[in-house]
Each structure stands twice: as C-alpha cells, then as structure tokens.
Amino acid sequence: MSKTFAKRIGFLQKRKDLSPEQFAAHWRGVHAVLCQRIPGLRRYAINIIDREANPTVPYDGFSELWFDSKEAHDAAFSGPEGVELLADIPNFVDKLTGVMVVEERFIWPNGD
C-alpha cells in the first residue's frame, strides 16, 4: 500500500493589475522560494494555467503542498516561515481558495 499524505491545494486568481507573466514571475521567483523554506514540507508544485487555452477556468493556477499529516501542515503555517509565506500572497494574488485533501497514490514513479 502506498503512503498517504496530507496535501494542501491552493487555487489562485492573480491580481488584476498584474500580467500573466508578472504573476508567474512572482510566483516562481519569490513565493516558491519562500515556500521551499517551510519546515516539514515534503513536496511542492505550482501549476500555471494557460488562460488562453482554458478561458473558462476561473483560476490562474494552483499549488500543491505535501505534508506527512494535517498536524505537520498546521505547525508549518503557524511558524515564522509560514507566516512570511502567507504575508506574500497579496503581492501577486487577489483570491486564494485553499483546501486540505488526503492524497491517495495509484500510479507514482519510484514507489515513493
């Protein structure tokens, strides 16, 4: 049986005053760098949606953050690195909808 993870998915709508390129540059160059400092974070991925190819999708992207447990997630976001990360969100995002899920892996490379 594969390991399950507590995973936070964040659905992002970019700030209206930013171009798609500015939004992506901040996410990659600032926010993702801050995110990599989060204690207990096992994996992190960003997914930028091509709005021209998907004009009816209400989001500009979504993030995926994997933790060993909900408790590890909560501890990470209550610490100084988590507080700093959350404070950066208004710098490039108008709306963030976050959900916690339990990921169940069925096909995954290397068996992790």
CATH number assigned to the domain comprising residue 89: 3.30.70.100
Rounded to 5°, the CA angle 99-104-110 comes to 120
Residues 42-86 pLDDT 10s: 999 999 999 899 999 999 999 999 999 999 999 999 999 999 999
State which amino acid sits at residue 103: E
CA distance 45 to 42: 11
pLDDT band, residue 1 (cuts 50/70/90) = very low
Q: Domains in the chain: how many in total?
A: 1
For residue 97, the enclosing domain spans 5-111
Q: Is the pLDDT of residue 20 over 80?
A: yes
Model confidence, pTM: 0.88
For residues 21 and 45, give the distance between their C-alpha atoms in angstroms, rounded to a whole number: 18
